Amino acid sequence: MGTYHIVTGASGFIGANIVKALNARGIDNVIAVDNLKKADKFKNLVDCEIADYLDKHEFIDLVLGGHFDGAVEAIFHEGACSDTMETDGHYMMENNYRYSLDLLDFCLDHEVPFLYASSASVYGGGRIFQESREHEGPLNVYGYSKFLFDQIVRRRIGPNASRTDSQVVGFRYFNVYGPREQHKGRMASVAFHHFNQYRATGKVKLFEGCDGYANGAQSRDFVYVDDVVKVNLYFLDHPRKSGIFNLGTGRAQPFNDIATSTVNACRTLEGKLKLSLQEMIEQGIIEYVDFPEALKGKYQSFTQADISALRAVGYDDAFATVEQGVMNYVEHLSK
């Protein structure tokens, strides 16, 4: 039956972009694994070439039953519940932790590269974003599910990946945005929501200040999905490199930057002049709304990836700024 590249969460945001990038390399022997409970996600794979689609439950049964022994080139494990507001801890741990553990065991047993999605949510409300236990303290069960799996990986592969011949790489994704996220609803990126708000109403909405930040000044490390895919493929090309790495740009930019970049990208396509943040506020294009009670104490007001570990293993490509990434994204959304 040949060998396969397996992508879990393949019809999701990052997974679908990885499938598309593998296709661009001429790799179409891809098994797409997902749960199509949200049926609209299938649209992310319409322009992709795959060898087969498997439901995640069917897939894990086949893995545990030995069906894929000797038939896997690599697993990109992007499948997870990424809803930070999910309160069903049993579901979250079964879906994000136990499922991941079964795949890790398979990959270690068969020396298959295992590249998986972790999350910057493991850092919680901290201000130091280094891949080290003392800086980690998740604020919700989603973050905890990712945090716990990272701890298991550390125990399995040891310092500097010294205990295994099999590549294991965890990527702590910061705020990823870009094409193929439309199915995520409220969990889609701010750029996606701002584009749709501006197109529908001529204005965008941001949270008022919190945690000592001014209106819209809460800052995150926003990373364009193309850069996320490039880093994943870099490690695929370097199978001797393992570890857990932050995957962000190393820059924190305020939500105001996302808003102004989105509006100005739309205005550019409309043949209009760009506006400053202050001009947008004065003209009512940017509107600040009350900070949600449900998010208080569970919200990261500041994130900024320390990417020195990623640089140290040889990844030296530049990351798109918010202005560059949002312009590309708005052009894509406008097609």
The dihedral formed by the CA atoms of 275, 280, 282 and 285, expressed in degrees to the nearest 10: 140
Mention every residue, 6+ apart, whose C-beta is less than 8 A from residue 316: none
Structure tokens at 244: 């857990």
Kind and range of the H or E run holding 266: helix 255-269
The yes-or-no answer on residue 184 being catalytic is: yes
Mention every residue, 6+ apart, whose C-beta is less than 8 A from residue 199: 266
CA angle, 64 then 25 then 332, to 5°: 100
Q: How far apart are CA 157 and CA 212, in angstroms?
A: 40
Catalytic member of 142, 144, 177, 198: 142
Bridge partners, 245 (sequence order): 171
The packing angle between helices 99-110 and 141-157, to 10°, is 20
Residue whose token pair is 């040949």: 2
Please spell the DSSP secondary structure of 162-228, one letter per residue: TT-SS-EEEEEE-EEE-SS-GGGGGGS-HHHHHHHHHHHHS-EEEEPP-TTPPTT--EE-EEEHHHH
Mention every residue, 6+ apart, whose C-beta is less than 8 A from residue 248: 120, 129, 172, 173, 174, 175, 221, 223, 303, 304, 305, 307, 319
Catalytic member of 53, 184, 288, 299: 184
CA 80 to chain centroid, in Å, comes to: 10
Residues known to be catalytic: 142, 184
